[in-house]
Amino acid sequence: QLQLVESGGGLVQPGGSLRLSCAASRFTLDYYAIGWFRQAPGKEREGVSCISSSGSRTNYADSVKGRFTISRDTVKNTVYLQMNSLKPEDTAVYYCAAVSRGPYYCPYGPGGMDYWGKGTLVTVSS
């Protein structure tokens, strides 16, 4: 079974940058579309970004467009989320998740994902 581990979270100032990593073990990520999700305290989990297994398609939530960039590194078997111009409202636990549904599928909502990491906390001070 696919295992996912997030890393790279931490405390940053507003306007700062952070890069999150989602590393896979046991199986290659080449077969899976990957989504990044986040959950702030007291709020429901929301989609942030996704990338198809082929890498040809990506989506971003309106709240992060122009600030976040998702990418995948086949050699390192890792998916990244580069976060720039961070705002206090970006504070949340960030999760990566995977689903295998063909080369162009790019999930957005948290429902339907088959494998989840345990999350990494991002805190943006005000």
pLDDT tens string, the chain, 126 residues long: the values are: 899 999 999 999 999 999 999 999 988 999 999 999 999 999 999 999 999 999 999 999 999 999 999 999 999 999 999 999 999 999 999 999 999 999 999 988 899 999 999 999 999 998
**What Cα–Cα distance (Å) separates residue 51 from each residue in 8, 17, 69, 73, 80?**
19, 20, 10, 12, 10
15-27 confidence digits (pLDDT tens): 999 999 999 998 8
Ramachandran class of 77: left when φ > 0, alpha when ψ lies in -120 to 50, beta otherwise: left
Mean pLDDT of the chain: 95
